[in-house]
Structure 1
């Protein structure tokens, strides 16, 4: 039993022949078998008919005025819309070269006039069955690709969730292990400063009351350089204050970055999230043996509080800033080598962070670097899961795909990368101020 008999719809056939009698004969024969038949007396009419309604099969005569069957077939195959339509040539030409040319321009079969009706029907049915199987295969391929994409997205989401859980646990541990002793030190520094000042005052009072100390005391004063110690004590206390403040701000930045206790959407200050991320990356921005310190240019606009998953959006900032730093590190290695050869100093590495309100309900954050830029071939695959240009062991290929998922899927926003006119690349994030219900 043929596949065609299992379907109610038999097929839409376009017959192209400049001889009306041939058209009527083929049309009557195919219509009697249940096919939908359309007729065209010229190649131009055939091309127009295919654009109006895509046929399942084209029966095409070769010898026609103005445009022969070979040219019609060639144009059908060059058009994305009609290239998959099977073309069966029907011609009185029985030379081998004619048949070879018919297949060469894209024909799938060749029937010689005068034709046998049963043969024509079998060949048409065979091509329609093949076409139907191809369509079904394409549909299954689409479903399979969708399933594969869903699987990759699920893997990315699982990795993202695991990373967020691990990050939250790390933050909780740091908060417990660091906050308490730092708070103790910070709280007692005021007392320590006062105690030291009291001792200094006492020493100064002794120096006033007893201007001529014993030789032993004079030796001790000389050995420890008492005046230097008294003056430097204030510097030491100030340095300790600044150090403790630095540690406290880093812990606070880590807490703000992870927002471990904020699993739900809430209104947040985007600039605070960016600044917390920059604190986390401070060690990577410093000068190294291979490049100068990276200069951060802030071009902050006035932003309203945005409703978002704060910790996940901060992770996007982390990925984009890390990538910008990587690009500058790579660029500097190339630039330093070129500069040393040309006796020219390397340029200042820079990351520009810009924010702005696009209108009342959307905001834009862009992170741009002046690195080497991104090739078009690479840029087209940037957000594919597991795609990376880094050496094995240095990148998972998940950072940008996770970022894309967070911005586009979870926040109904947009994440894009564009090359800059001079050099470098810019990643732009757009998200709604208020998430749709």
Structure 2
């Protein structure tokens, strides 16, 4: 091969090398562009993922807010329904109390005169008996057959029992009127002890002994408390809810203990925890501390554990069986004390020992409600 051929070959190789170099440069440029494009796509993809995550988080927050709003609306609706029911009940109670009160007052007033007339007639008959019966065998026989002496004594007792009965009805009617407070101003100065007593009168049938339990003892220790400004009807509703819960707790404890001691092998007579030894008791104490009125309502019932106490003021929370409660009593009570009366509603409870609720309201409310 000649020198010329070598030079030609070298030139061809150099040309091929230049071509390969350019192709390599273009490949490198394409690689760089591809990397940049991939980085952009990756960043775009990551941005899309982050946006989706943010959207999901926002949706979850909005969903939670909507759920809470729905619960609040449901609670408010139930509260309005319950308030409307209490208002309707109060109107019904006030109406019935008014309708019963008139004839009962009439009967009670007339019984006093009837008793006096009866005494006069009996005295007259006794006088007639003493002066005329000896000469009238028919009258003497009639007196003996009808046991006039017994009638004379029992008739007076009968009149007294009727007077006591009408007096008892008057007390019940007055308790109904005091409990409803619908014939008075909604916000006024009242004696809270009258409200508690009227509530106990309303619940009297539940406090009495039942076939499966003894009577519930109510201990009242009232302090010296002046008239306080409050929404009397609403405050009585709080007393009603808390005392009803205390009765339920006592009945639950007695029922559970009776079931336990009825098990085979359990000797109730040898146990100090036997339900027959339990005296179901509700203790009500009132006192004035500085400018606060405090009402303590405690029971020696079933008590509550921590899981229950964390939710007792929540709407629709209840430990009672279906049909026994809606879970609104303490929820509404809390609103009445805290929102309507600027007060506090606290509790202390020990499972198996009992529960105490403490109602605290200022003697005078601050500002206009």
Q: Report the TM-score range of the alignment, normalised by the length of the smaller protein.
A: 0.7 to 0.9
Determine if contact 1:415/1:429 at 8 Å carries over to the other structure: yes
Partners of 1:182 and 1:355 in 2: how far apart? 33
Return closer, same or farther for 1:249/1:425 CA change in 2, 3 Å cut-off.
same
Most deviating of 333-342 and 191-200: 333-342
SS of residue in 1 equivalent to 2:324: coil
Residue 387 of structure 1: which of 305, 317, 323 is its match?
317
Aligned to 2:268: 343
Return closer, same or farther for 1:337/1:421 CA change in 2, 3 Å cut-off.
closer
Aligned to 1:299: 221
Determine if contact 2:97/2:173 at 8 Å carries over to the other structure: yes
Determine if contact 1:290/1:336 at 8 Å carries over to the other structure: no
Q: Which aligned pairs between 1:4-153 and structure 2 lie closer than 5 A?
A: 125=47, 129=51, 132-133=54-55, 136-137=58-59, 139-141=61-63, 143-153=65-75
Question: How far apart are 1:169 and its partner, in Å?
Answer: 2.5
Question: How far apart are 1:123 and its partner, in Å?
Answer: 7.6
Partners of 1:213 and 1:421 in 2: how far apart? 80
Residue 171 of structure 1: which of 89, 93, 102 is its match?
93
Return closer, same or farther for 1:132/1:304 CA change in 2, 3 Å cut-off.
farther
Question: How far apart are 1:278 and its partner, in Å?
Answer: 0.4
Structure of higher RCO (CA pairs closer than 8 Å, 6+ residues apart): 2
Higher Rg of the two aligned structures: 2
Return closer, same or farther for 1:342/1:173 CA change in 2, 3 Å cut-off.
same
Return closer, same or farther for 1:393/1:425 CA change in 2, 3 Å cut-off.
same
Instruction: Please list every run of at least 4 consecutive aligned residues from structure 1 whose deviation after the TM superposition is greater than 6 angstroms.
Output: none
Return closer, same or farther for 1:422/1:391 CA change in 2, 3 Å cut-off.
closer
Determine if contact 2:303/2:351 at 8 Å carries over to the other structure: no
Aligned to 1:207: 129
Return closer, same or farther for 1:422/1:332 CA change in 2, 3 Å cut-off.
closer
Partners of 1:401 and 1:334 in 2: how far apart? 26
SS of residue in 1 equivalent to 2:250: helix
Residue 231 of structure 2: which of 305, 309, 320 is its match?
309
- Tell whether 2:322 aligns with 1:400: no
Aligned to 1:194: 116
Aligned to 2:30: none
Identify unmatched segments of 5+ residues in structure 2: 1-37, 270-275
SS of residue in 2 equivalent to 1:364: strand
- Tell whether 2:274 aligns with 1:274: no
Most deviating of 396-405 and 412-421: 412-421
Partners of 2:261 and 2:55 in 1: how far apart? 61
SS of residue in 2 equivalent to 1:426: strand
Partners of 1:428 and 1:249 in 2: how far apart? 28
| Matched residues, number | 321
Return closer, same or farther for 1:302/1:138 CA change in 2, 3 Å cut-off.
farther
Question: How far apart are 1:148 and its partner, in Å?
Answer: 2.3
TM-score (normalised: structure 1): 0.68
Per-residue Cα deviation, 1:2-50 (whole angstroms, up to 9, x for no partner): xxxxxxxxxxxxxxxxxxxxxxxxxxxxxxxxxxxxxxxxxxxxxxxxx
**Higher normalized helix content (fraction of residues):** 2
SS of residue in 2 equivalent to 1:367: strand
Identify unmatched segments of 5+ residues in structure 1: 1-115
Return closer, same or farther for 1:425/1:296 CA change in 2, 3 Å cut-off.
same
- Tell whether 2:292 aligns with 1:354: no
Partners of 2:115 and 2:126 in 1: how far apart? 16
